[in-house]
Structure 1
């Protein structure tokens, strides 16, 4: 056999199919990613050192404010036939959503700085899954805190609103919706600021303004003119009014539906900003 014949025999066939390359792993679906990441964030429930302070904080605040402002129920501007705890607790469900949203922002900022997010970026995980998982987990934890607050209010402080269990559940729903929407707002701030030392003072200012310049603790009729004007346009006051009216059994359907609608608008506006800022990091 000649050298040319040998080369022709050993030369690969030009028409032979190319060997199939190994399929590239594209990662799991978005729903699966969100479920896993949500479960990861919810593992905080296993650590009492993390969960107990969050449960005790609203109870302690409710104890202090219900006693300090209790005399307000004796003024002429206070709704007749309503105890102060029935007036205050629905507002606390709403105002606690601010703290819950701030915790979402701070937690995301922490993970951006401690390398957790960098590890996620090395995996086939969508950025939106990380944010949605964080938001769902924090909303669930916020709902648990609010539920504990309702139970403690009923067993310890005598919370017994005219709206009954259905009204209290409606107020809880308003609080959870607000916590869900504010979580996206604070995550958007976190993704763009990326510094815990910047998040804390901003969150403190927002909390101070929205909380005390509202109808959470006293009716707006008893406030000074300039503060009353701000409290009446404060979006937190409208959410508090909706939750309070549900609990007290005289809810207006339009105002009740307005709050979830506004929460949805907030999410539609804040979520793209949060996602864009999160993708910009690193």
Structure 2
């Protein structure tokens, strides 16, 4: 090999080495799964700060103290189940509320990334842009899982939460609540991708979540409500989610009820995710 050929070969090796170490090449050679995993880890890191972990843990405790303590008298309201304690009937509903509230933050997280020019930097990398949206939903899902476990543990320790379905019923309720919250998060991700305005998104989020969560059968049966509110509660999809999780903790969940919940959640994602991806592409 001549000197010129040796120098040319060394140059090719240096170029290949530089290319392997270049971030854009690393992203470009990875797939959707690895990109989503890396971006999910990035989105989760802010939630692992001690202060955030404490506040995230305290939120379910405050909800339990308010609803299980203050509203305990509602356990004697007409139409309430008599075969389960009020906390066994309430805890699944609080899990649904917690999961949906955590999912609603996914849109705000996407807006914050947009404001901080993080999204602009992502657009300069050869990555699948849908991985950014998936990571956002999974990160807030992880936060919701932490809170759901806190709800179950705190309800058992301080309020005697011991449902007939036992441990498996509680695990199933946590997973079902997580699925409901994750699917709902795509509504807010879609709105964030379309609106790109944090103030407007927060107002819409409040207007959506309060009626969904509280105009439902979460705290009292619809039969005890005024007629107009009963109609809303019976049509509210959160009421059906509450019924499914209550059946789960009672150990009486049917295959049809389980499949209906899973299919409804996946259908919601199938509608919202493509719209989110299309809108996010033109950001």
Q: Same fold (TM over 0.5)?
A: yes
- 1:228 and 1:90 mapped to 2: Cα distance? 20
Displacement of 1:29 in angstroms is: 1.8
Q: CA RMSD in A?
A: 1.6
* Greater Rg by CA: 1
- Aligned pair 1:129/2:131, yes or no? yes
- 1:115 and 1:75 mapped to 2: Cα distance? 52
From 28, 31, 34, give the equivalent of 1:29. Answer: 31
- 1:46 and 1:139 mapped to 2: Cα distance? 14
For normalisation by structure 1, the TM-score amounts to 0.88
Indicate conservation of the 8 Å contact 1:188/1:274, yes or no. yes
Unaligned runs of 5+ in 1: 1-19
User: Whose helix proportion is higher, 1 or 2?
Assistant: 2
- Aligned pair 1:247/2:252, yes or no? no
Equivalent residue number for residue 79 of structure 1: 81
Indicate conservation of the 8 Å contact 2:99/2:177, yes or no. yes
After superposition, the C-alpha distances for 1:149-168 in whole angstroms (9 at most, x for unaligned) are: 10111111110011111111
- 2:67 and 2:139 mapped to 1: Cα distance? 28
- 1:56 and 1:189 mapped to 2: Cα distance? 28
- 1:245 and 1:252 mapped to 2: Cα distance? 8
Q: Report the more deviating stretch, 37-46 or 216-225.
A: 37-46
- 1:99 and 1:207 mapped to 2: Cα distance? 7
Indicate conservation of the 8 Å contact 1:94/1:240, yes or no. yes
Indicate conservation of the 8 Å contact 1:44/1:51, yes or no. no
- Aligned pair 1:272/2:274, yes or no? yes
Equivalent residue number for residue 46 of structure 1: 48
Aligned residues: 261
Equivalent residue number for residue 112 of structure 1: 114
Displacement of 1:46 in angstroms is: 2.9
- Aligned pair 1:144/2:151, yes or no? no
Displacement of 1:45 in angstroms is: 3.9
